[in-house]
Amino acid sequence: MAKKAEFCINGQSLFASLQKVDRKKLYGWSDIEVKDSLGSHCKLAGLADGSIVLPSGSTSLIMVDEQGEEVDKSKLIGFDKDGMEVPLVPSIYDDKVLLRESTIDEYLMLAVKSVYQLQMDDTTKLFDGDKLFYFVFNYRADFEGDDAFLIKQGDTIFAVTGKIVEIEFIGINETEDEIVSPAESIEEDDDLDFAMF
């Protein structure tokens, strides 16, 4: 049975399972097959120290302490740029997910990272109009959560995750000075005459 997250707003709770929307299913994908001169499939490998062949999957990244011992990620502590300890942001499955109503302007400032489709039993209590909800998203507990929005399209609800970026909007009556690239600023008196070559 799929895990369910508990979404809460105005004292009401709704439980939903999340399924990631695979970009491959939306846009398709391509595979590159490499074969040797005999027609056998080739596999990707790396070369270490100029002589050791390491097939794909032979290496991974680990974290080590000053003594060279492996450190479990769950024991790491996060600090901000001022040296203050950063609290761990829980997974959406570990704690209640607090929703707040949001605006389309805030949603449009999101640099999208992932999209999830929600399986929710009853959405009428939540989406009784064209509402949009903001929440902090963390699939696994981490020191920094992503910005996320619940948005409804037809009968389907999606969780769109990413980071909100500050964008400066320019109105119709506002103008910006034209940016001239260095190449355009060069005087055209120096045009080459290819006939002299």
3-state secondary structure 132-169: CEEEEECCCCECCCEEEEEEEECCEEEEEEEEECCCCC
At 51-99, the pLDDT tens digits run: 788 887 777 788 888 888 888 877 777 788 888 888 888 889 998 999 9
pLDDT at 32: 83
Q: What is the mean pLDDT of residues 114-125?
A: 78
CA distance 103 to 143: 26
Cα–Cα separations (whole angstroms), residue 107 to 38, 104, 111, 114: 54, 5, 9, 14
- Cβ atoms of 113 and 144 closer than 8 Å: no
- The rounded distance, in Å, linking the Cα atoms of 182 and 185 is 5
Mean pLDDT of 31-58: 83
Q: What is the pLDDT of residue 197?
A: 47
Residue 98 C-beta-side C-alpha neighbours within 13 Å: 2
The pTM assigned to this predicted structure is 0.64
Calculate mean pLDDT across residues 11-17. Answer: 86
Burial (Cβ within 10 Å: 0-12, 13-18, ≥19) of residue 93: middle
Question: What is the dihedral sign for C-alpha 171, 172, 173, 179?
Answer: positive
Residue 161 CA: distances (Å) to CA of 18, 45, 93, 145, 148 = 12, 34, 16, 10, 4
122-170 pLDDT per residue, tens: 655 666 667 899 999 998 888 888 999 998 888 788 999 999 998 776 6
**What is the predicted pLDDT for the residue at 49?**
78
